[in-house]
Amino acid sequence: MKTIAENANDFADLRTMGKGDCIYVDKTDYFHRLVTDAGRKLFFIARPRRFGKSLMITTFKAIFQGKRELFKGLKIDATDYDWKVHPVIHLDFSLCARSSHSEFMAEMPAVLKTAINKSGYAYDKNETPSVNFLNAIEWHYAQGTPCVVLIDEYDDPVARALANPAEADAIRNELSGFYGKIKGKTDMIRFLMITGVSKFTKMSVFSALSNLTDLSPKPEYAAMLGYTEEELDLYFGEHMAAHAKVMGLSDADYRAELKRWYNGYRFSIDNAITVYNPVSTGLTFAERSSEFRGTWTQTGRASTLMNYIKREGALQVDLDGVVSAGESDFDVSDLDNLSPIGMLYQTGYLTIADYSQGLYQLRVPDEEVKRDMAALLAGAWAGRDAQWSASLGVKLRAGKWGDFFDGLKALYAKLPYGPHESDERKNEFSYQRPLCALLAAQGFRYDPEVTQTVGRSDLIAEHPSGIWIFELKVDESADAALAQIHEKDYAAPYRARNIPIWAIGLNFDSKTRHLKDAMYERL
């Protein structure tokens, strides 16, 4: 059984690690198509964090450095590619991503100097970073071999500073001048690939390079990053069988749960294929835990997301449904007025569910993202962090009722609502949805408005350790809520499961939207 290299971001290291015994999911047929494209040579692709962009960039680097020995047995090795050596300027802007313009400017020259020197051109400390970049391109071309430019995480310096739009804009202007140097010199470049999470469209890299091909939505490249079902079978079959055994699941049940947890990302409106998050699946197969866990969300959460998930557009996202969006919703060019839906999509918290006549239907891609987003939403509602909101679910399962009810009161005390909303919308938004987010964050299966023969319960939450029946009242009492649960016998369909069943009554004040009183009872 081949080894899974956890968090391997460098192609050369991955191919030599463990004497070449590490799994590499072969995407080189895509890369060969790009490096031999006769009509295009300038490319951009946006994907969420931890989706293999850096591994792709270093694979291109090895290709253009002529390191054919690293590609033995891979798809590109079976082609007639010429393996000509080119100087490579490889820039990773995550290395100089800071929260202020001054900090960024202090880091950027060193990052550029290292990249340019490694390409074979001597960095001139008397010139600006932008001029050095331009001179390096011209110098390599004059030597008879045009260079390759690989820019990873091009947007990270701007994204890290988004909490302060003025600082972010200053960094973007600096980078725009830098990227603008490419204009007029594209004939001197053999190949250009730029990666990032977001497409900040006012950067000169997009306005100046009119012939920059954006691969992000292209149907033929929808599966270039991420794993398909076929790739899981081909590369991870033994690992999946071993993990299914640890979890005590049949192969069919294991694959169904694996897909529910980690597969759901769709990047093209013209190609319905969905892919698995590569980091999530790799870590899951390597760890072989007794249960599926959120792994990507521990390492892939965008550092700036909390600033934008607090906005009304994000707070109204339905974790179990879809949100409609037009092209304008994806525009993240105005740093002072970023679209929360656009941010959620580009950071991987929403993905394409469907598309028709200019209207996108977006949804949360999978279970691990749903849980993390639920924790973010609940934390944002309460003015706390995701860890705080997730902890409330633990308190509920543990029966720490005082702590759980205190947490709910803190949550509802800060819940936002707008005067433009209807009374019906306020009730739905203010009372039920935050509770669903809390439950989702800890893996509860929940069903709002459950219709039974005797009536309709407000919310049923299920977990292997128990069942919780919630009844919500407004301007009445928690005791009245419990009485209704008994009167309607909402617990009847669940008694045969032989696990604890709890009744929870919550009563809200319509004027303040606060949780006024709460009661619980074991049924």
Q: Average per-residue pLDDT in the chain?
A: 85
Residue 134, φ and ψ in degrees, nearest 5? -65, -45
| Confidence at residue 115, expressed as pLDDT on a 0 to 100 scale | 96
pLDDT, residue 309, reads: 60
Question: What pLDDT is attached to residue 139?
Answer: 97
What residue ranges define each of the domains in the chain, with the CATH number in brackets?
Answer: 11-216 (3.40.50), 229-299 (no CATH), 301-368 (no CATH), 384-522 (3.40.1350)
DSSP for 383-420, please give it: TS-HHHHHHHHHHHHHT-HHHHHHHHHHHHHT----TT
Predicted pLDDT of residue 203: 58
Whole-prediction pTM value? 0.84
pLDDT of residue 421: 43
pLDDT digits (tens, 9 = 90+) for 347-360: 888 999 999 988 99
User: 194 is written with which tokens?
Assistant: 């730029």
Owner of token pair 């449904």: 321
Cα(290)–Cα(288) distance, integer angstroms:
7
Q: How far is CA 505 from CA 113, 392, 422, 481, in A?
A: 64, 17, 25, 5
The number of beta carbons lying within 10 Å of the beta carbon of residue 326 is 11
Instruction: Identify the segments of the chain with pLDDT beneath 50.
Output: 418-426, 428-429
Asked whether 300 and 50 are in contact (CB, 8 A), the reply is yes
Could you tell me if 199 and 46 are in contact, meaning their C-beta atoms sit under 8 angstroms apart?
Answer: yes
pLDDT digit string, tens, across residues 75-134: 999 999 999 999 999 999 988 877 789 999 999 999 999 999 999 999 998 998 889 999
CA–CA distance, 192 with 184 (Å, rounded to integer)? 14
| Residue 102: Cβ-neighbour burial (10 angstroms; 0-12, 13-18, 19+) | exposed
Strand runs (DSSP E) across 282-358, as ranges? 323-325, 351-356
Q: Tell me, what's the pLDDT at 61?
A: 98
